[in-house]
Amino acid sequence: MTRKSVVAGNWKMNLTLKEGVDLSTNLCQMLSKKPLKSIKKDMEVILFTPFIHLPEVVKIVKGVENVFAGAQNCYSKPSGAYTGEVSASMIRSTEATHVLIGHSERRSLFSEKDEFLAEKVSTALDNDLKVVFCCGENLNERENGNHFEVVNKQIYNGLFWLDEEQFHNIIIAYEPVWAIGTGKTASPEQAQEMHKYIRGLIEKKYGENVSDNISILYGGSCNSKNAEELFENNDVDGGLIGGASLKPAEFFKIIQSF
């Protein structure tokens, strides 16, 4: 196994169905002219769409090598009387392959706690979905120097109960909350420092073989201007892109930043 480079787009609660179909179609057209493997070996692109868009986007990305579709969330229970929720098996039934768990907007706006997120990770893996697990400190925590401790706890509680085989289906996204949607990006040094710390935690828990192979993405105001200086760091394996993933040409530039 080799460590994959990944550029993922998180559309959040944006785009009508038609706009989402148009965006994915445009992007896939660009990628059929310039395939991912011509940009970088072992590179993947994942589009995290709203649930509504998912079956259509799955069809669009299907013919394009190493481009995948995923959901931005799933519920922790397999099925039942949970009005308004969407299960991991429903997501998998669309042939989507990935799910985002623990995004800071879920943690802060919907009060999702570590234990609940761990349940979501479990049901996602049970249903053969790969998980992009988000972690990151807020501004207060960074200014008080608690950022390593916060990220350690999120990863420990959310993921470190998994066995080694399960852990192979995890990608980590480090997204400092103070950098999300603010236009304020972590410096390449800050990103590298935290990514190295996260890889070190994984090495201690699962060994070097696992820590060497896990992809750790940076998220937070990443765009075509700063992607290259972020991605060139040893422990930064790509990005989780919010706002800049909503414009196909801009997102395509980020993909080409390796």
Give residue 170's Cα distance to chain centre. 10
Annotated catalytic residue within 98, 103, 147, 195: 103
Q: Which residue is nearest to ligand 13P (CB)?
A: 242
CA angle 187, 189, 192 (to 5 degrees): 110
Contact indicator for 53, 14 with CB cutoff of 8 Å: no
- Six-digit token string for 78: 């397999």
Number of C-beta neighbours around residue 56 at 10 A: 18
230 belongs to the binding site for ligand 13P (CB under 6 A): no
Annotated catalytic residue within 56, 112, 141, 175: 175
Binding segment (CB under 6 A) for ligand 13P, from list 75-83, 91-99, 192-200, 216-224: 216-224
Question: Sign of dihedral through CA atoms 3, 179, 30, 74?
Answer: positive
Kindly state the smallest distance separating residue 99's Cβ from ligand 13P, in Å.
13
DSSP 3: P
232 to 8, 96, 146, 197: CA distances (angstroms): 17, 29, 26, 17
Give residue 174's Cα distance to chain centre. 9
- Return the closest-CA partner of residue 194 out of 209, 177, 176: 176
Comparing CB distances to ligand 13P, the nearer of 13 and 81 is 13
243 belongs to the binding site for ligand 13P (CB under 6 A): yes
CA angle 31, 36, 41 (to 5 degrees): 175
Binding segment (CB under 6 A) for ligand 13P, from list 15-23, 53-61, 117-125, 215-223: 215-223
Kindly state the smallest distance separating residue 186's Cβ from ligand 13P, in Å.
11
Q: Which residues, 63 to 92, sit near ligand 13P by CB under 6 A?
A: none
Contact indicator for 99, 60 with CB cutoff of 8 Å: no
Kindly state the smallest distance separating residue 9's Cβ from ligand 13P, in Å.
8
219 belongs to the binding site for ligand 13P (CB under 6 A): yes
Whether 103 is catalytic is: yes
10 belongs to the binding site for ligand 13P (CB under 6 A): yes
Q: Which residues, 92 to 151, sit near ligand 13P by CB under 6 A?
A: 103
Q: At how many degrees (to 10) do helices 54-61 and 17-33 cross?
A: 10
Among 70, 176, 242, 248, binds ligand 13P (CB under 6 A): 242
Kindly state the smallest distance separating residue 251's Cβ from ligand 13P, in Å.
11
Binding segment (CB under 6 A) for ligand 13P, from list 37-45, 146-154, 161-169, 218-226: 218-226
Q: Which residues, 149 to 188, sit near ligand 13P by CB under 6 A?
A: 175, 180-181
CA distance 76 to 55: 21
Helix (H) or strand (E) holding 10: strand 5-10
Binding site for ligand 13P (CB under 6 A): 10, 103, 175, 180-181, 219-222, 240-244
Residues tagged active-site? 103, 175
